[in-house]
């Protein structure tokens, strides 16, 4: 098999890896699309936003500000704050893609979401990432997630009045996140981090623009790291000579 | 309340939002070697998915109705999340996890 064939096979392996989670991404995309139109955005602008921003929570946070005619900088700043967790994701992914070209790193970053990032990191920790062409594997994951999200978001935008919002379809997205994160909770430090992050997130919930989420994530990561260092036996003391 | 933003101004807002999202997503990826975190922090970041997702999921399940904590066992989202988690413990099948969670959630909403 030559390099091109290898890369294509690795790309397809990435596409398969996310297949089962796609109903969650689709349901969340559909509901976000409906919400954009019901939030007052005209259909072409909503489609433009879905294609260029590709970040459900930031898009939804911007809607009331657009409807209220807030200044550009306020809306952009809100987007930055809502997306702060992506800075953490970006830092976590950096070592895996440090060798890639600038253009490729930019592209992989653009297509990175809660779903694709979590799947990548979990697969890496379980030692199941392919030895080579990790960029192609992640591109496969991201491609399927992007296509699914866009098709369902645009369906939601175009057919907003026909989608039954009272069914609570968006809960499928939450369930898919549970399915992604659940298997990683077997190790004790991860469990400690998850519990701390959850408690802080509940306490900080009134803070707007997902800032509470960012604080909770940092607290959880710190707690998990502390738990890990405590659960390991102390290194042997060095004798002073 | 001002008028809603429309036309070219709306286009500028969306482009601004797209750029700010792109900046956060590519921040450390693009900065590369120039902006590197301490290696120990980079190692700690492998807990980022677990912690962030937990901070997204738990309020979504327990506080969906508003700002009040709903720990009641009659909370349909809690019932759905528990059903999905039980399925996940029994088998790694994600589709089954989604289906069982949605089924339990919908039944709880209809029946309770």
Q: Which domain holds residue A139?
A: 3-182
Q: Would you say residue B28 has pLDDT above 60?
A: yes
User: How many CB contacts within 8 angstroms connect chain A with chain B?
Assistant: 271
Residue A204 lies in a domain: yes
The yes-or-no verdict on residue A42 having pLDDT over 90 is yes
Contact B94 A20 (CB under 8 A): yes
| Number of domains chain A contains | 2
Which residues in chain B have their CB less than 8 angstroms from residue A21's CB?
94
What residues have CB less than 8 Å from A198, skipping those under 6 apart?
A216, A220, B54, B55, B57, B58, B59
Which pLDDT score, from 0 to 100, does residue B62 have?
A: 92
Residue A235 forms part of a structural domain: no
Does pLDDT of A28 surpass 50?
Answer: yes
Q: Does B109 contact chain A (CB < 8 Å)?
A: yes
Res A165 pLDDT > 50:
yes
Would you list the DSSP string of B41-63? HHHHGGGHHHHHHHHHHHHHHHS
| Percent of residues, chain B, with pLDDT higher than 90 | 49
Assess if residue A237 is contained within a domain: no
Give whichever of A18-27, A34-43, A133-142 has the largest mean pLDDT. Answer: A133-142
Same domain flag for A171 and A222:
no
What pLDDT is stored for residue A236 in this prediction? 53
Interface of A with B in 154-213 (CB under 8 A): 167-168, 171-172, 174-185, 189-190, 193-198, 200-202, 205-206, 212-213
* Pair (A81, A119) in one structural domain: yes
In a domain, residue A165? The reply is yes
Is residue A24 in some structural domain?
yes
Q: What is the pLDDT of residues B37-70, one digit of tens each?
A: 888 888 888 899 899 999 989 998 998 766 678 8
Q: Is A220 in contact with B32 (Cβ distance < 8 A)?
A: no
Within 10 angstroms of residue B103's Cβ, the number of other Cβ atoms is 14
Confidence of residue A240 (pLDDT cuts 50, 70, 90): very low
Residues A173 and A206 in one domain: no
Same domain, A30 and A56: yes
Q: Please check whether residues A104 and A55 belong to one and the same domain.
A: yes
Does A23 lie in the same domain as A62?
yes
Asked whether residue A241 carries a pLDDT value surpassing 50, the answer given is no
Do A75 and A138 sit in the same domain of this protein? yes
Closest residue of chain A to B29, computed from CA coordinates: A94
Shortest CB distance from A72 goes to which of B16, B22, B92?
Answer: B16
Where in chain B are the domains? Answer: 1-36, 46-111
Q: Which B residues in the span 66-95 are in contact with A, Cβ-Cβ below 8 Å? A: 67, 69, 76-77, 80-81, 84-85, 88-89, 92-95
Q: How far apart are CA A181 and CA A137, in angstroms?
A: 19
**What is this model's ipTM?**
0.88
Q: What angle do CA A86, A58, A88 make, to 5 degrees?
A: 10
List the single range of A116-125, A147-156, A159-168 with lowest mean pLDDT: A159-168
> Does the residue A11 lie in any domain?
yes
A192 occurs within a structural domain: yes
Average pLDDT across chain A, whole number: 90
When mean pLDDT is compared across A48-52, A137-141, A230-234, B80-84, the lowest value belongs to: A230-234
Of the three residues A166, A182, A198, the one that is the final residue of a domain is A182
Give mean pLDDT, residues A193-218.
88
Binned at pLDDT 50, 70 and 90, residue A234 comes out as low
């Amino acid at each position: 098999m030559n390099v091109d064939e290898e890369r294509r096979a690795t790309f397809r392996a990435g596409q398969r890896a996310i297949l089962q989670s796609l109903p969650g991404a689709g349901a969340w995309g559909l509901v976000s699309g409906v919400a954009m139109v019901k939030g007052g955005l005209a259909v072409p602008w909503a489609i433009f936003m879905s294609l260029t921003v590709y970040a459900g929570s930031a898009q939804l946070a911007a809607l009331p500000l657009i409807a209220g005619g807030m200044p550009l900088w306020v809306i952009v700043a809100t987007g930055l704050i809502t997306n702060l967790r992506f800075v953490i994701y970006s830092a976590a992914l950096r070592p895996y893609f440090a060798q890639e070209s600038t253009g490729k790193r930019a592209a992989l970053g653009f297509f990175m979401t809660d779903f694709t990032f979590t799947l990548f990191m979990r697969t890496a920790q379980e030692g199941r990432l392919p030895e080579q062409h990790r960029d192609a594997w992640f591109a496969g994951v991201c491609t399927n997630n992007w296509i699914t999200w866009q098709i369902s978001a645009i369906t939601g935008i175009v057919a907003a009045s026909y989608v039954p919002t009272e069914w609570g379809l968006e809960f499928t997205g939450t369930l898919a996140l549970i399915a992604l994160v659940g298997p990683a909770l077997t190790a004790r430090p991860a469990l400690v981090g998850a519990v701390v992050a959850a408690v802080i997130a509940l306490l900080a919930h009134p803070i707007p623009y997902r800032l509470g989420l960012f604080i909770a994530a940092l607290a959880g990561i710190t707690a998990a790291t502390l738990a890990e260092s405590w659960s390991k036996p102390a290194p042997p003391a060095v004798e002073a000579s | 309340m001002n008028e809603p933003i429309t036309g070219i101004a709306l286009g500028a807002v969306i482009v601004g939002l797209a750029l700010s999202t792109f900046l956060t997503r590519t921040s450390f990826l693009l900065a590369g070697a120039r902006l590197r975190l301490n290696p120990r922090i980079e190692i700690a970041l492998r807990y980022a998915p677990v912690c962030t997702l937990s901070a997204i999921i738990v309020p979504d399940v327990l506080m969906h109705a508003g700002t009040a904590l709903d720990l009641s066992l009659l909370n349909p989202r809690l019932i759905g999340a528990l059903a999905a988690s039980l399925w996940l413990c029994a088998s790694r099948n994600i589709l089954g996890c989604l289906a069982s969670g949605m089924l339990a959630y919908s039944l709880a909403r209809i029946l309770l």
